[in-house]
Structure 1
Amino acid sequence: MAGKEWMRLFMRRHPKLVYRKPENTSLARATAFNRHNVDQFFDNYISVQQKYKLTTERNTDETGITTVLQTPKVIAKAEKKQVGQIVSAERGNLVTFCAVITAAGNYLAPTFIFPRVRIKDSHLAGSLAGAIAYDSKSGWINADIFLNLLKHIQKHTKSTKDCPI
């Protein structure tokens, strides 16, 4: 049976191989990512772009940001068996961040969705001017917030039916 020493020597013989921490991917997502579905996505994408004469000037995306950071890897002396670091005991909260950015690098002020019942002015302290905040019990975007976000985008981009984005 191969042991730790075999693994160490194997890795030494193959320097292009490295240890990586894999990202979790659901079975449904992995099996749905196939040639047929990808081709269908791009066919639909192209037809919508042509139908509405859309350009790639603007794009939007949202992501979750936790309020507690992961502990980073550190460098320590080899003889040191254990390396300590003070961390928060909290699990943290998820804050959803939504950005609207052009390919040219222009952007709208960001939108934050906090897991709160009511938003306070202090939630946006230190953020970009014009940033907006919404509250959501889960901290996730929902239909009402999404419609408000679309109105915010429309207001600041001056998009219309004749000039869609």
Structure 2
Amino acid sequence: MPGCDWVKSFLKRHPQLSRRIAQNISHARAASDEEIINNFFDNLEVELDGIPASNIWNYDETNLVDDPGQTKVVTKRGTKYPERIRNSSKACTSLMVCGNAEGQIAPVYVNYKSQKLWTENGPPNA
């Protein structure tokens, strides 16, 4: 059975590896590659041809997780962003922002789990 110092000794014998904290990503994001992304933007360019900038809106959502579940992993030395794929996550607060290609921005939408409606101390007009 390996002892307490086994990982430390293993890393000394393999200097190309290092211990890092992994970032959590979904299975869908992990499955994408450069070709899929390039095809998406090629198709998008064709679809947006002739549409005014004021009619092209982008929506993004980010989650503030109450338990990010950071885990140290062993990875190739120099890996900038080690990732860990997770099946599910804990409760989170969602922030949604929408803006168009002309520079207009819609009010921020904040979505969180709550039994009562709460609107104090949030972003203006949210």
Q: TM-score, normalised by structure 2?
A: 0.51
User: Does 1:111 find its partner at 2:109?
Assistant: yes
CA RMSD of aligned residues (A): 4.2
Greater strand percent: which structure?
2
Q: Where in structure 2 are the equivalents of 1:43-122 lying within 5 Å?
A: 43-54=42-53, 59-66=58-65, 68=66, 93-100=91-98, 107-115=105-113, 120=117
- Taking only the aligned residue pairs, the percentage that are identical comes to 18
3-state SS of paired residue (2:22): coil
Q: Larger RCO: Structure 1 or Structure 2 (Cα < 8 Å, ≥ 6 residues apart)?
A: 2
> How many residues end up aligned between the 2 structures?
104
3-state SS of paired residue (2:18): coil
Alpha-carbon distance in structure 2 between the residues aligned to 1:94 and 1:52 = 36
Deviations 1:30-84 (A, max 9, x none): 44x24543232111122133242448x9643112334x45589xxxxxxxxxxxx
Structure 2: 5+ residue runs without aligned partners? 71-89
Quick check: which has more Rg, 1 or 2?
A: 1
Greater helix percent: which structure?
1
Alpha-carbon distance in structure 2 between the residues aligned to 1:106 and 1:71 = 36
Counterpart in the other structure of 2:81:
none
Please report how far the alpha carbon of residue 99 of structure 1 lies from its aligned counterpart in structure 2 after TM superposition.
1.5
Q: TM-score, normalised by structure 1?
A: 0.42
